[in-house]
Structure 1
Amino acid sequence: MSVPLQGPAPPIEITDADLIEQSWRHPERFGVLFDRYFAAVHRYVHMRLGEPAADDIAAETFLRAFRCRHRYDVGRPSARAWLYGITSNLVADHRRNEARRYRALARSAEPSDVADHGDRVIQRVSAAAMQPRLAAGLARLSAADRDVLLLVACAQLGYEEVADALGIPRGTVASRLSRARKKLRTIIGPYQEAL
């Protein structure tokens, strides 16, 4: 009696925790984690601090993660929040420059006057027209509120992941995010005003 073949077995997903644990004995396995997250971490830092800092901080994030991988809690399957926590600590070292960058961006890109009605409509729907006001608003947020807001908006982390990344309770994430959004709305004004 023959048993019909059902095709190949589905691939087994290797979790981040598995990779980190494997890297304790085989350091090269950490490279897979690097490949999974480097682009996202780099993009997040680039949005926060600009291109020159993004290269250095993203690389430093993975260097620090590699050096302290033996302390990683392998009970957590995803290392995403852990990596963003390391990244956030590194960004904290550059906060002064970040706030200066937002203030400079707010001053440098004021929307220009446009005579043609069609051009005015196009400009109104352009995200670039909002950039100076947004940058000014971000510069005026506290570092703690800005971290939470940008981890949610730029890195697209959930509340639990932000809480893990920053080492704060989930309720604190929610209150900081709410406060940051409220302050930005006050600074930027209603959408129609900004256009």
Structure 2
Amino acid sequence: MDDPESFAALFDRHADEIHRYAARRLGPEPAEDVTGEVFLVAFRRRARYDPAWSDARPWLYGIATKVVAQHRRTERRRNRAMARVGAERPGTFDDRSAERVTAQQLQPRLARALTLLNSGERDLLLLVAWTDLTYEETAIALGVPVGTVRSRLHRLRVKVRRALGGNDPFAEEPQHG
């Protein structure tokens, strides 16, 4: 981490993934800035990185989650806008049937459900759903014990399921860790 070229390799390896996470959280416009901020913070705090960690992703996602928190108003506006947008209805029965099982159909309802969560709940849920981190890596990213991740995630799934009228969009998610 002391070698700038090594840090450049870390950036090259993870910047696209952090950018995608930021874009999903805040939209494409602020994602570029957020990605830059994440790696600037990471560079400044590189001495705090625990070399015992085999993967820098949880550490970077932890930083990204905190930077996203600074951009929270943008995220709330985006979720509210997505919640107001309804999916367009295709014309045929087959198209309508296929649409019912797509994520696009669920998107406005899910966005509405996300607006009901506090920032810590939203951070946990989206880290698990979007980043492919294990529960252990999510715990590192958020700085909490893995048992806390598991119990909070269970409560969140119940809360989101209720907000969606009993449908759990995360029911098919594999159990990490």
The normalised TM-score by structure 2 is 0.87
The structure 1 residue matched to 2:112, chosen from 131, 136, 140, is 136
Match of 2:133 in 1: 157
Matched, 1:98 2:75: yes
Structure 1 match to 2:122: 146
> CA, structure 1 residues 70+115, in 2 after alignment: closer, same or farther (shift >3 Å)?
closer
Distance in 2 (alpha carbons) for counterparts of 1:111 and 1:51: 20
Counterpart residue number, 1:5: none
**Structure 1 unaligned regions, length at least 5:** 1-19
1:27 partnered with 2:4 = yes
User: How big is the shift at 1:35?
Assistant: 1.1
Residue pairs, 1:1-195, within 5 angstroms: 20=1, 24=2, 26-108=3-85, 110-113=86-89, 116-191=92-167
Greater Cα shift, 47-56 or 70-79: 70-79
Query: Cα offset for 1:96?
Result: 2.4
Give 1:38 deviation, angstroms.
0.8
- Seq. identity, %: 49
* Corresponding letter in the other structure for 1:68: R
Q: Which has the larger radius of gyration?
A: 1
Question: Which stretch shifts more, 180-189 or 121-130?
Answer: 121-130
List per-residue Cα deviations over 1:92-111 (Å, max 9, x = no partner). 11122212211110102x13
Name the Cα RMSD after superposition.
1.7
Are the equivalent residues in 2 in contact too, given 1:144–1:176 (CA < 8 A)? no
Deviation at 1:119, TM superposition (A): 2.7
Alpha-carbon distance in structure 2 between the residues aligned to 1:88 and 1:115: 41
Deviations 1:133-163 (A, max 9, x none): 0110111111111111110110111111111
Q: Distance in 1 between matches of 2:22 and 2:91?
A: 37
Q: Distance in 2 between matches of 1:176 and 1:191?
A: 19
- Maintained 8 Å contact 1:105/1:132: yes
TM-score by length of structure 1 reads 0.80
Deviation at 1:57, TM superposition (A): 0.7
Amino acid at match of 2:106: M
